[in-house]
Amino acid sequence: MKREIVIIGGGPAGLAAAIAAKEAGAQDVLILEREQELGGILNQCIHNGFGLHTFKEELTGPEYAARYIERAKALNIPALLGATVIDLGRENGALTVTFVSRSEGLVRMEAGAVVLCMGCRERPRGALNTPGTRPAGIFSAGTAQRLVNREGYLPGREVVILGSGDIGLIMARRMTLEGAKVKCVAELQPYSGGLKRNIVQCLDDYGIPLKLSHTVVDIRGKERVEGVTIAAVDDHLKPIPGTEEDIPCDTLLLSVGLIPENELSRQVGVEISPATNGPAVNESLETSIPGVFACGNVLHVHDLVDYVSEEAAQAGRNAARFVAGEIGSASDDSVKLIPGGMARYTVPVSVSPRRMAEQLTVRFRVKDTVRGGVIRVLVDGEEKLRRRRPVMAPGEMEQAVLKKEWFAGGEKQIEIWAGKEE
C-alpha cells in the first residue's frame, strides 16, 4: 500500500494539516487516529475560549473540532479510526508507516511524506518523586477532566491541585462547579504555568487560593487520600523546613506539565530538541528526516489551539509541496536561530532564506516573567526588529516575524532576543 501523505493523529493539528495539504493540491491524504473519533483532546474540553483567533468567536473544544471535521469530510479526506501507529521507519529511501486496527489488522504502507501530529501527554506522578504510598484519589488533571466531562464521574469532593498549568486551572473551576471544594492550587515555580485569563476566570473568580513557590511534600492515606502536606520552596526549588502545612483532602490532581508524544519521532531517528522535547524543525516545519514534518503539541506545547491549527496548516501545505517536488532538500544556506536573553527556545531552529516564504513566524517562550520587555531580532548582530511587550510570561507563547527581504545570502546567525528593555 502506498499513500501520498500520511497524517499521524486526528486531533486539531492532524485535521488542520490534512485540510491544508488537500487544499494545496495533494490528492491522497490519509489520517490515522488511534481513538474512535476525530478531534483529539478537544472532545473533553467542554469549556469555551477556543477559536478567538481562527473564527473570531468563542467556541467550546468539541465545537472547534467539529468545524475542522466538517471541512475534512467536505474535502473527502479519509480517516482510519482505532488505528494505532506502532512503527515509523525508512526502507530503501522510502518512509514506512506500520499501524494496527481492529478493522484492518496489521498494515504496513509507504508514504511520500508524513506529518507528525500525535500531540502531548501529561507528566505522571512517577516523575515527581513525591513521598507517600499509592492510595486511590490521585489523578492527572487531564484524566479528571475526562472523567467529569465525558463519563459523568466526580473523582472527589475535597481537592488539592499541584501545578498551575492550564488544565489544572480549568479543572479547579470545573470541580467547583460540580460541587467539590478546591482547597488550593500549589505551584512549584514563582509564577503560574497557565494563561493569565485562566488564573482570573478559574481561580480568582471562585476564591481559590494560588500558592506560588509551594509543592506537595507528603501524601497521607492508605486506601484513599486523606490529606497532603505542602511546603514553601527556596530559590533552588527545595522545600523549606518549618513551612509545612497539612491540608485534609480526598483527591490530589496533578497538573505538572505536558510532554510531547515523540516515541515514533525517536524511532525514525528524528533529531529532538532538548529545550522542547519535540523535533528540531526548519522553516518548513520539516524534521531532520526529509519528508517528515511535525506540528502542534508534538513539536512544542502550545498555549492556544488556534496557534496549533495555524502551525499545522503550514506543515500540511509544506508536505504537499514536498511530495510535488516543490521543496528541495535542506540547503547549505540554512541559518541557525539562537534564543537570546530570556528566550528559552525557538521553533523553528533553522531557516533557509532561499526556501522560506516572504514572512515566517518564529514562536518561543521566555524562561521567567518579564515586565517592561522587548523582543528583538538580530541578523549577524544587526537589529532587524524591535517590538515592545509590557509583560511576557512562561505560560504564554511569544512570536517574532522574519522577513525574507532581510537576507542577502551568507548570513551566519539569527538571534531571537527577549528581555527587559535597556
**Same structural domain for residues 141 and 240?**
yes
3 state SS of 41: helix
* Closest C-alpha to 193, from 222, 147, 161, 233: 161
pLDDT tens digits for range 23-76? 999 999 999 999 999 999 999 999 998 999 999 999 999 999 999 999 999 999
**Same structural domain for residues 62 and 178?**
no
**Same structural domain for residues 241 and 352?**
no
pLDDT tens digits for range 236-264? 999 999 999 999 999 999 998 899 999 99
**Same structural domain for residues 171 and 245?**
yes
**Same structural domain for residues 249 and 266?**
no
Distance of CA 142 to the CA centre of its chain: 14
**What are the helix (H) ranges across 75-220?**
141-149, 166-177, 196-198
Q: Residue 96: what pLDDT?
A: 96
Q: CA-to-CA distance for 123 and 134, rounded, in angstroms?
A: 17
Q: 134 pLDDT band (50/70/90 cuts)?
A: confident
Q: Residue 336: what pLDDT?
A: 93
Last residue of one domain, picked from the residues 313, 330, 347: 330
**Same structural domain for residues 318 and 392?**
no
Q: Say if residue 344's pLDDT is above 90.
A: yes
Q: Residue 144: what pLDDT?
A: 96
Q: 395 pLDDT band (50/70/90 cuts)?
A: confident
**Same structural domain for residues 237 and 348?**
no
Domain range for 401 is 331-422
What percentage of the chain has pLDDT greater than the value 70?
98
At a CB cut-off of 8 Å and minimum separation 6, what does 326 contact? Answer: none
Q: Say if residue 127's pLDDT is above 80.
A: no
**Same structural domain for residues 139 and 205?**
yes
**Same structural domain for residues 324 and 358?**
no
The answer to whether 134 and 223 are in contact (CB under 8 A) is no
The answer to whether 115 and 202 are in contact (CB under 8 A) is no
The residue assigned the cell 511535525 is 294
**Same structural domain for residues 79 and 30?**
yes
Per the DSSP assignment, residues forming a β-bridge with 252 are: 138, 160
Q: Say if residue 391's pLDDT is above 90.
A: yes
What percentage of the chain has pLDDT greater than the value 90?
86
Q: Residue 330: what pLDDT?
A: 57
pLDDT tens digits for range 89-98? 999 889 999 9
3 state SS of 214: strand
3 state SS of 313: helix
Q: CA-to-CA distance for 10 and 118, rounded, in angstroms?
A: 8
Instruction: Report the domain count for the chain.
Output: 3
Last residue of one domain, picked from the residues 256, 277, 304: 256
**Same structural domain for residues 4 and 31?**
yes
CATH number reported for the structural domain that contains residue 38 in this entry: 3.50.50.60
| 408 φ, ψ (degrees, to nearest 5) | -105, -10
Last residue of one domain, picked from the residues 203, 233, 256: 256
3 state SS of 232: strand
